[in-house]
Amino acid sequence: MPPAYRDEEDAREPSIPPLTDDESEAESGRDFHVHGADDDDYDEAHGLPAPAWLDHASSLTNRWIPPRLRKAGRVVVKWVKGPVPPRELHIDGIFPQIQEAPLRLLDRYVPKKRQRIALLVALYATWFLTWSLLVRHRATTGYIKGYGAPTNLWCGASFWRDENGCGLNGNDCRPFSVAHLAFRCPANCEQTHLLEDHIVGNQTLIYQGLVVGGPKADDPDSLAVYRGDSFICQAAIHAGVISNANGGCGVATLLGARSHFESSEAHGIKSAAFPSTFPRSYTFQRLSEANNQCPADSRWPTFVVTAVALVLLSIFTTDPAVFFFSTFVILFFHVGLVSDPPNRSNIYELISTLFARLLPGCFIVFVLFITSARPLLTGLRAQLEKTIHWIRISGNMPKYLAIYGTMVLSLLILLLLPGQRLRIHHYILALLFMPGTAFRVRPSLVYQGLLLGLFINGAARWGYASINDVERFRLYNDEELFWDDSSVTVPRRRRPKDGDRAEPTFFRFAFLTGSEHGLYSKPAVWDEYGHWIPPPQAGG
């Protein structure tokens, strides 16, 4: 047995005598089989590795990057790419015996494909018939004695049009008085808020309801008079004519010009004050229950019908396309006609608007299904979990970084466009975040369900508004725009009679070119003492 090799540091190097002349000539003629770097048959496995510093020095870029930074970069890139090979994510249902029981029941009693299709069609027909009858009953029934059938209003309806819609002196909104409107309001109108600045006197209202006036603060039983641009349904709640929980019917009577609208708080709504005159105002008639035959709001019954249909569909369906598109269509109809419908005068215009928005919505949802929903729902048998609705380890991090990097770059470009304002609407938020829910983890079930609902609400209620809104004449520039001259004539102020109070007058100014106007300034005030208070400067 040969002795074990030992590398002793203290061991002296062996004495090797030099070669003689004859030995040198013999050695020079021998072939040691030394392989050159250009030989094709060179085996890299038996070669010596090149030093790291020599390998890095060959790259021009690496000469300027410190070794520690290069090492950190390689670690980050390796982490972003994820494990090799990527892991396929899947969701294991909690209590699988319970969650898969509906599927076993279906396999036992309805095993054939044709039978399942017939069962699915029967579910669709049952939901649509029950749901449509409730919607029709809600839209067409009701009667107020002496005033006829009530008109269905949405929560933001008023007797005054936005901006200059009523024309000079409000002539396009006549009659100002001696007119009645029998109306019906849906439930939960208290939550309707202004989404744009609304000027009342010299105060700006936004993200709140719009009710101006009401009964006197010191006399709640006095006549409740509201300014013409107040939301009718919110004013009716404030006056106690209807309830916020159930909605209801009422009759509004126009009173013409009134002044000195006082602020008060009643039934959870606080009204704003307006110390001047407005050309249109209204109040509400007090009706007896015998004269007011108004059915209760059917939102909750229709919601129960829709919820039961979706739960049955979710529990007994494993096909991603059937589950996803059925949910989309059913919820689109429910939101667009029942829970949050757009402002239309009658049910027929509402249905027409809904179908106009449904077709482009189907195309968008098809793209979302291919990119996000199908990867998540394919093979999912956790029936109960999907009803209630790790990118890196799946190897998709580079793809998502590219997708969202492109989205951010596009938004920055849109943000920098001159003369336009970037607005991220409901449905755009869903389109931005939906691709990030395509990987199979439980939170994705929740997020994808919420985002689908956000898209449906935005598309069915508000439509497909542009992501960029035009800002008209925000800046003044003599080289680009030419403005028309105009003047303001104010009638001479009369001395108030006995018992009358002096009142201020409010002015708002805007640049004008032809019949087009720019943005209005903040209010200027000519107060009751004859003092002129100019509008505050922009940004002030």
φ, ψ dihedrals at 219, nearest 5°: -145, 85
pLDDT of residue 231: 95
Q: Which residue has the tokens 């004449």?
A: 473
Summarised one tens digit per residue, pLDDT across range 216-260 is 877 777 889 999 999 999 999 999 999 888 888 999 999 988 988
Domain ranges of the chain: 143-293, 299-470, 472-540
Who wins on pLDDT, 398 or 349? 349
Contact in structure between 509 and 476 (CB atoms under 8 Å): no
Angle between helices 442-457 and 347-368 (to 10 degrees): 140
Q: What is the dihedral of CA 487, 491, 495, 498, to 10 degrees?
A: -130
Its pTM stands at 0.63
Instruction: Give me the architecture of the 143-293 domain, per CATH.
Output: Beta Complex (2.170)
User: DSSP labels for 147-185?
Assistant: TBSPEE--TT--SS-STTTT-GGGGGG---EEEEEEEEE
Of the chain, the end-to-end C-alpha distance in Å amounts to: 98
pLDDT band at residue 37 using 50, 70 and 90 as cut-offs: very low
Give the confidence band of 15 by pLDDT, cuts at 50, 70, 90: low
Amino acid identity of residue 68, one-letter, is: R
**201-210 contacts at long range (C-beta below 8 A, 24 or more positions apart):** 201/273, 201/274, 201/275, 201/276, 201/504, 201/506, 201/523, 202/506, 202/522, 202/523, 202/525, 203/272, 204/522, 205/272, 209/234, 209/269, 210/156, 210/158, 210/234, 210/272
Q: Cα separations (Å) of 217 from 202, 264, 401?
A: 21, 5, 58
Q: What is the pLDDT of residue 351?
A: 85
Q: Which of 170-193 are b and which e, b meaning 16 or more Cβ less than 10 Å from the residue's Cβ? A: beebeebeeeebbbbbbbbbbebe
Q: Which residue has the tokens 């009658």?
A: 346
